[in-house]
Amino acid sequence: MQDLAGRIAVITGGGTGMGRELARQLVAEGCHVAMCDVSAAAMAETRRLCEADGLPQGLRVTAHVADVSDEAQILRFRDAVGTAHDTDRIHLLFNNAGIGGGGSLFIDSRADWERTFSICWGGVYYGTRAFLPMLRKADKGHIVNTSSVNGFWASIGPGVPHTAYCAAKFAVRGFTEALITDLQLNAPHIKCSVVMPGHIGTSIVANSRKLQRGDLSDELPAAQVAQIRHHMSAMGRDVANLSDDDIRNMVKERARRFQEEAPTTAAQAARIILDGVKAERWRILVGADAERIDELVRLSPERAYDVDFFQSLAAEVGWRLGR
């Protein structure tokens, strides 16, 4: 699918980060876009940026509020796409939505763990199930599932559990790889790709906390501050002298650094993904850090969770924050 002009793309998590940049770059190539997100305001900003870039005449960019962890909402999103774009088919499906959280089976709540897993894995599964009939009706189709380097390396550093996110991203990778044969046998005109980004400059850190508490405001409430304090204490950090505002500032600073100091921007990541889709690559590593992690884990899988493995890797790729 070298020429995207006139095609129809569906993007989950289109309000921020890589989803937003995918929308902008697809529109720039003349592709119709239907996006979903839990935030109407974020999608409105994505659409404004698409228009500011120069929206080609007649191109449709539609926004639909939907929680990808809820299959009923995904099915309503699918039906709304058909109506808004006056079509019974799509060509590109980007199962992109994701959050972090629920890192520990011991410290974090079951609700947080399952929320993260349900969005990061369930969103991919429900999205694929829902839109597969529309992909089958197209002359060509491509499913693009966002996993992570944490889909083959379950770590963001020693002493930091990351179980829900990693488990979900491993599931996304395995599902997509299994889809290769399933599609070859049953729908050979549809291709699939698994995307494995390294540290990308997005707002996932800030957004994850909002989605975990079910509140899209920027203010961190006292209950979540207390939860973060408990988590830090359980991980061995002395929090006795930290005020609630100290913790809020630490959280904001971590989110800022994650977005602004990443080695790869969301726009660069979107370009790598689209280039990979056009080349029909089923495995798309995003960022020099992702490529290096892939090499090192393959080279020394038994060492992948040793402290010195991470320290050496972080120094080599210039990480200041883990993914």
Q: Compute the distance between CA of residue 35 and CA of residue 14 in angstroms, rounded to an integer.
A: 5
C-alpha–C-alpha distance, residues 254 and 260, integer Å: 10
Q: Tally the residues of the chain.
A: 323
Residues 6+ apart with CB under 8 A from 186: none
**Set 125, 126, 165, 305: catalytic member:** 165
Give the Cβ contact number of residue 9 at 10 Å.
25
- Residue 181's contacts (CB-CB under 8 Å, 6 or more residues apart) are none
For 229, the enclosing helix (H) or strand (E) is helix 222-234
Nearest partner of 177 among 150, 132, 145, 149, judged by Cα: 145
The closest of 11, 1, 53 to 28, measured between CA atoms, is 53
Q: In this structure, what is the dihedral angle of CA atoms 102, 105, 106, 111, given to the nearest 10 degrees?
A: 50
- Residue 125 annotated as catalytic: no
Rounded CA-CA distance 178/170 in Å is 12
DSSP symbol at 216: -
Residues forming the active site: 165
